Structure 1
Amino acid sequence: MTQTQPGSVQFTGVVKKYGDVTALKKLDLMIEPGKLVTLLGPSGCGKTTTLRLIAGLEMATDGTIHIGGQDVTHLTATYRKVSMVFQSYALFPHMTVRENVAYGLTVKAVPKAEAAQRAEAGLELVGLAGYGERLPSELSGGQQQRVAVARAIVLEPEVLLLDEPLSNLDAKLRRHVREEIRQIQQRLGLTAVYVTHDQEEAMAVSDDIIVMNNAEIAQIGTPAALYETPSSSFIADFIGDANLADCDVLEVEDGMAKVVLNGNTYSVPSHRPLSGAARIVLRPHALKLMSPQSAGVQGEVTYAAYLGKEMQYTVETNIGSLFVISPVSGQPFAQGDAVSVAIDQDQARLVSQ
């Protein structure tokens, strides 16, 4: 199966309004060809609106949209070289799997024999060779989702759009199918834009993540960059689990900040100039529970859960409630135990208040 050259996606000053409601504020965005970029954020943040604007299912109120260098701002979905994989799969129950995959090709008046051949190639690509004569009802949820991916890919789009594609699958199957989608995208060199509200899913599949909040971009970066160097309290709390506590920054020098937290002084990495009141980001794995006689933040365990390879704790302290994850070793702490929480200073981060 041939593959169209992957296209870039560029938004310049794009605004989307529904009457008096602004669904998307002035948005400037560039997605490079061949990248899988995820739009991530809470409900109502603008991520699905952004995807629909790329697809041509919505028209921009203001600004311009380019796909593969072509201005498509005023073109409907029919005239854009994009394909979408929907949350609901949207397979025709009365058609065979091969007919479902070939459907978009037949609509585009591709000869029947060629459409069938390309459909078979698409099914082979997603690991469903030999399934062409089955009906969708004879497939598992994961297999149906792969059929939906094959149907989108055979149209040879410049950009593949995926709208919450795994939300109807159970946790174990989601993990398996997201790996397959990522492998297909990398193998074909597709430009893909993926929408999800699941942070783990976004981090697992993405080259870059665009975190959105309140109808605008909050931060763009690789999964590692967003986790390691959040630009705000919102990003720190949204990307992975995080404990946030107020602190005071005394000075920043050579990328290290001297901060006062709970009367104790710590030296933590700082990637931006800060002074005075700030917030310290403490990841659950960066905290360690010790005996109450040890140095650290004093507290009491109010929740303890054994999860096989790890223990999860909630500890009430005078800097707030802390979520702590520890490997299982020795005798775990129990609810009601007095503890001291030690902080791994190298893993702590700072954000503005």
Structure 2
Amino acid sequence: MSQFEKGSVHFDAVVKKYGAVTALKQLDLSIEPGQLVTLLGPSGCGKTTTLRLIAGLEGATDGKIFIGGEDVTHLSATYRKVSMVFQSYALFPHMTVAENVAYGLTVKSMPKKQAIEKAEQGLEMVGLAGFGERLPSELSGGQQQRVAVARAVVLEPEVLLLDEPLSNLDAKLRRHVREQIRKIQQELQLTAVYVTHDQEEAMAVSDRIIVMKNAEIAQEGTPHDLYESPNSAFIADFIGDSNLVECDILKSGSDGTEIQLGAQQLMLPVQTDLKGQAKAVLRPHHINLHPATEKDALIGEVTYAAYLGNEMQYTVEGAFGELFVIAQSIGQPIKVGQSVGIGMSIDDLRLVPMD
């Protein structure tokens, strides 16, 4: 096995069925060593099934699974070099924090004294030095989740698996714990596979995101790629806030693509294979609102306005439908009922198919 292969994960046409229900459709997947890759998608899309197949908690119906270049398709979870962090923490309430972290090491026949020493090192890594003698019930939810991370990391896995690890925490704590998870993963250069349905969480921690829909991959790429270049209306809507406005493609060539958006014709500096009707992706913070004039091709009426301290949020309705707009200018808010002109940069517009 080469050093490059160590920690890699590969799925070769993996299928998973539960009776007549197909949970995964011929999944081809590659995760490179040292990357944190997030499986993202709505409930029932196949992301947790994929994670459980890597862990060996489920068996593939068809296809092959490789970890570190080794075929582990028929290898039980016990013999796979992976560790898993669960949503529920799964700490033993009668054991101390250090004993919880050391548990997997003692199961592997490491002497208890040595296992506790290594557990203390793991707790220091997650910012819990000195907490080893406490019971889990004496810790906050965020601290308990960090204990679960330490327990997984001290086993020195080739692949760290995290199944919705932050879903039981409040928003502020989620941000803090996810930063620590990302820091640990980068410092140890661990391969990590992270499952969540929260797109902001995925954007914050990932080297690469795999968005799943209906038991298959809808699109994969860096957070920047998925946000800036969605390949479908589903991705545009799922990754960040977006407005999807119907438009007509008039022509496309080497000089760009001309579209009809409402009463306005725009030449976009991109080429596309799309023809006829499409959807234009308008991100809320890429839209500019100003008092309407006769020169404006796109005009709407503000039907909702909310002050959020560092920004204003508006809903604007017009012939094009409804737009959600985020404005950083909060000095002179636009009032509900006011008629506004709608401006945008053509460099920020993206086109996706109608479906």
Question: Given the two structures, how large is their TM-score scaled by the length of structure 2?
Answer: 0.96
1:235 — aligned with what?
Answer: 235
- Cα distance in structure 2, aligned partners of 1:270 and 1:114: 60
CA positional deviation for 1:255:
6.9
- 1:269/1:134 Cα in 2 relative to 1: closer, same or farther (>3 Å)? farther
Partner of 2:264: 264
> For residues 345 and 210 of structure 1, do their structure 2 counterparts lie closer, same or farther at Cα, with a shift above 3 Å needed?
same
User: Larger deviation: 334-343 or 247-256?
Assistant: 247-256
- Is this contact kept in 2: 1:6–1:191, CA < 8 A? no
**Paired residue secondary structure (1:279):** strand
SS of 2:173's partner is helix
Aligned-pair CA distance for 1:327 = 1.1
Q: What is aligned with 2:63?
A: 63
Q: Tell me what 2:31 maps to.
A: 31
CA–CA distance in 1 between the matches of 2:272 and 2:64?
Answer: 33
Matched residue SS, 2:302: strand
Where do 1:32-181 residues align within 5 Å?
32-181=32-181
- Aligned residue for 2:320? 319
1:335 matched to 2:336: yes
- 2:7/2:67 contact within 8 Å kept: yes
The CA deviation string for residues 70-114 of structure 1, in whole angstroms up to 9 with x for no partner, is 111011111111000000111111110000000111111111122
What letter matches 1:248 in structure 2? Answer: D
More off after superposition, 325-334 vs 238-247: 325-334
Q: Write the distance in 2 (CA, Å) between the matches of 1:329 and 1:56.
A: 52
Question: How far apart are 1:295 and its partner, in Å?
Answer: 1.4
SS across alignment from 2:7: coil
The amino acid across from 1:289 in the alignment is L
Alignment of 1:10-21 (within 5 A): 10-21=10-21
Which 10-residue stretch deviates more, 192-201 or 273-282? 273-282
Question: How far does residue 271 in structure 1 lie from its aligned partner after superposition?
Answer: 5.8
Q: What is the alpha-carbon distance in structure 1 between the residues aligned to residue 220 and residue 153 of structure 2?
A: 27
For 1:188 and 1:254, locate their aligned partners in 2 and report how far apart those are by CA, in whole Å.
46
**What CA distance in whole angstroms lies between the structure 2 residues aligned with 1:126 and 1:272?**
47
SS in 2 for 1:91: coil
SS in 2 for 1:200: helix
Equivalent residues in 2 for 1:200-239 (5 A)?
A: 200-239=200-239
Comparing 94-103 and 338-347, the one that deviates more? 338-347
- Contact 2:246 2:277 survives alignment (8 Å): yes
Alignment deviations for residues 230-277 of structure 1 (CA, whole Å, 9 cap, x no partner): 011110010000100111112223473211111211122436422222
Q: Is the 8 A contact 1:209 1:222 kept in 2?
A: yes
Q: Report how far residue 6 of structure 1 moved.
A: 4.8
Superposed, which structure 2 residues align to 1:188-199 within 5 Å?
Answer: 188-199=188-199
TM-fit CA distance, 1:140: 1.3
Paired position in structure 2 for 1:248: 248
Amino acid at match of 1:324: V
Residues 93, 255 of structure 1: alpha-carbon distance in 2 compared, 3 angstrom cutoff = farther
Structure 2 residue matching 1:149: 3-state secondary structure: helix
Q: Secondary structure at the match of 1:117?
A: helix
TM-score by length of 1: 0.96
Contact 2:39–2:193 (CA under 8 A) maintained in structure 1: yes
Alpha-carbon shift at residue 150 of structure 1 (Å): 0.3
CA contact (8 A) 2:310 2:330 kept: no
Which ranges of structure 2 fall in alignment gaps of 5 or more residues?
none
**Higher mean C-alpha displacement, 130-139 vs 322-331:** 322-331
Asked if structure 2 preserves the Cα contact closer than 8 Å seen for 1:269 and 1:350, the reply is no
Kindly indicate whether the alpha-carbon contact (under 8 Å) linking 1:247 and 1:280 is maintained by their aligned counterparts in 2. Answer: yes
C-alpha distance in structure 1 between counterparts of 2:329 and 2:53, whole Å: 48
Cα pair distance change 1:204/1:93, threshold 3 Å: same
Change (3 A) 1:115 1:255: farther
> Residues of 1 paired with 2:204 and 2:255: CA distance?
29
2:301–2:340 Cα contact (<8 Å) kept: yes
Which secondary structure does the structure 2 equivalent of 1:245 belong to?
Answer: strand
Query: Matched residue of 1:168: which SS?
Result: coil
Matched residue count: 349
Q: What RMSD, in angstroms, separates the aligned Cα atoms of the two structures? A: 1.3
Give how far 1:296 is off: 3.8
- C-alpha distance in 2, partners of 1:255/1:226? 24
**Alignment partners' CA distance in 2, 1:178 and 1:41:** 18
1:336 offset after TM fit, Å? 1.6
